[in-house]
Chain A
Amino acid sequence: MTDKILEVKDLEVSFLTYAGEVKAIRGVTFDVKKGEAVAIVGESGSGKSVTSQSIMQLIPSPPGVYKNGEIIFDGQDLLNLNNSEMEKVRGSSIGMIFQDPMTSLNPTMTVGKQIAEGLIKHQGLNKSEAMERAVEMLRLVGIPNPEARVKQYPHEFSGGMRQRAMIAIALSCNPKLLIADEPTTALDVTIQAQIIDLMKDLQNKFGTSIIIITHDLGVVADLAQRVVVMYAGKIIEQGSLDDIFYNPQHPYTWGLLRSVPRLDSKGQRLESIEGTPPDLLDPPKGCPFYPRCDYAMEVCVNHFPEETKITDDHKVHCWLQHPDAPKVDVPIKIGGANNEAK
């Protein structure tokens, strides 16, 4: 059990709104091993960001409520901690990078001060020590001329540099776990490549565990070792990177993999998943994907499928796994159609 840094068990999170209860997370169970990078993928509204914010307990309450579940980080249940205890975890044991580097930095504080803030609070450094560390952190994340940059304000940084500064803040106290919520979505591909490279580097150097939330399957293939696929507040499939890309079992995962253009798909129609995700105010009783699923059966309407273990690590929730279910040909080329094009 000691090799797991984080265990999320049966997590349920809802938002109480005027329109009713939005069941954003409906029973999510997964874990993160030490030094591992786990990707959470899914469409907007699938609950991937809420999952990560619940781990950090950044869900505003009201309207958010934790209805059920445990979040065990390093042996303690984060949901049982009070505010001041949680504050010690936030920023020191768990670091977080947000999607939008333009709005998540404080525009009225120098970048150096923002990095030093956590160091002073959590590690008891004095001001000048903390500023020295801040310079080191900026150098570590690859910002040129850090001595001058540390005294500058976020508006003097470009988008990619702001994201690096965010990473510097998140890493300043040597967290055991780094949560990155769409860290590259707002960036250009060349800058994205730089940031992913940096994250891989940090993972190798310091053994930091990473949870990366993204909808870009290319980023997943590049960075992650394990993949969690979410749909409508539930995990519908999880497994190693190869399991998900080369032996996917859930029709939604097939759909996700097929809707990305491949090098040999020129001139053909892209396979899209028709329809839109369900309304979580009133989620379907059975499998949430059945209205969009090409293989939907009667049982899918009212019963959410139990977990099936393909291997110890590869788990899927789908009635197609049932022994009585019809056999279905996987509609995507396994092994990566990209191989043939080169």
Chain B
Amino acid sequence: MKQNNNEIILEVKNLKKHFNVGNGVVKAVDGVNFSIKRGETLGLVGESGCGKSTTGRTIIRLYEPTEGEVIFKGRDVTKLKGRELKKFNREMQMIFQDPYASLNPRMTVADIIGEGIDIHNLLSGKERLERIYSLLDTVGLNREHANRFPHEFSGGQRQRIGIARALALDPDFIIADEPISALDVSIQAQVVNLLQDLQKEKGLTYLFIAHDLSMVKHISDRIGVMYLGHLVELTESIELYENPLHPYTEALLSAIPIPDPEIERTRQRIILEGDVPSPMNPPSGCPFRTRCPKAMDICAEKRPEFKEAQPGHFVACHLY
């Protein structure tokens, strides 16, 4: 059941992450603002290269931000050091996209899950093992799995191990970076159900990064749409699907094939021309104007502000 408290657990202010690549600067994330309430799931969608993963990684400080603030429970994460940082690391965890690359093949499952516990010196010996067993239980694996190695597991099971690892330190906030895109459809449903059950049980807050829009809609309370390092639209997930404001969101939604032949036969699709421009040399003004079917003169001159066009519905577009 939805909690009624409106405590904001995470606030991202004007976050920028630029990468120096020798012959230029890639503006992967270029001024992103949003906040997440406790117990909420915020979905972040967009095409590859739009900066959604970089946003997630910068929030958890896998990358140092170029500019901006990340306020987590009242503290600015970007300035944390030493003991404070270690405490933060326990409160925020991450689930990675590739269940094959994100588990160390030389470590047993117990050691993978227990690594965080060891680093933070939380438990040892029998208690540590008990904790690992209970985590395995929680994610739907069994204790015999503890002494095995990652190669003995299927993709879905590996992703469960990744989730158990993320849960080991009892975090409040989990960043899930495309946790299901490497899995088969039937297995995707298993993992999504698990994530939702855990959220209910433990009151977790999720930042759910994905490019599969139908799954994002299913799991998220609100969804942010990113394009070329900018957040272009942010609103409740149902509102986003029923009333998309930004032309990019419209195109993105119309591009999803619906598994229903009757709908597909009659559907008109907005097909975007061309590819996403290079983030090294983004277009002036609105980043989407080069592919936008509704582009106007002003779009080339001025970057549209990210503002509340309708209550609770933010969009960055000159049409509004």
Contacts and interface: CB of A to CB of B under 8 A. Distances in A.
Given A189-B211, A336-B262, A338-B258, A161 B186 contact: no
Interface residues of B, number: 43
A281 interface: no
A44 B155 CA distance: 10
Contacts of A191: 47, 275
A266 B185 contact: no
A269 B196 contact: yes
A263 B263 CA distance: 13
A245 B192 CA distance: 23
A188 interface: yes
B275 A161 contact: yes
Contacts of B65: none
Contact of A272 (B48, B186, B238, B264): B186
A129 interface: no
Contact of B213 (A144, A189, A245, A270): A189
Interface residues of A, number: 48
Given A44-B184, A259-B185, A259-B186, A218 B215 contact: no
Contacts of A193: 254-255, 257, 269, 271-272
Prevailing SS type, chain B contact patch: helix
B258 A272 contact: no
Interface in B46-69: 47-48
Given A265-B218, A270-B189, A190 B257 contact: no
Contacts of A161: 275
B190 A272 contact: yes
A202 interface: no
B211 A188 contact: yes
A189 B256 contact: yes
A196 B238 CA distance: 27
Contacts of B185: 43, 215-217, 256, 259-260
B259 interface: yes
B204 to A, nearest CB: 16
A335 B262 CA distance: 8
Interface string B196-218: 10000000000000010111011
B188 interface: yes
Contact of B257 (A144, A218, A242, A269): A218
Contacts of A257: 259
A339 B262 CA distance: 9
B259 A218 contact: yes
Contacts of A217: 185, 259
A313 to B, nearest CB: 15
A158 interface: yes
A193 B254 CA distance: 9
Those 7 A-B pairs whose CB atoms lie nearest each other, nearest first: A218-B257, A272-B189, A217-B259, A336-B260, A261-B218, A270-B189, A193-B255
Given A257-B259, A272-B190, A276-B187, 9 more contacts: A190-B272, A219-B257, A221-B257, A221-B259, A259-B185, A271-B189, A276-B154, A276-B156, A336-B260
Interface of B: 47-48, 154-157, 184-190, 192-193, 196, 211, 213-215, 217-218, 237-238, 241, 251-252, 254-264, 269, 271-272, 274-275
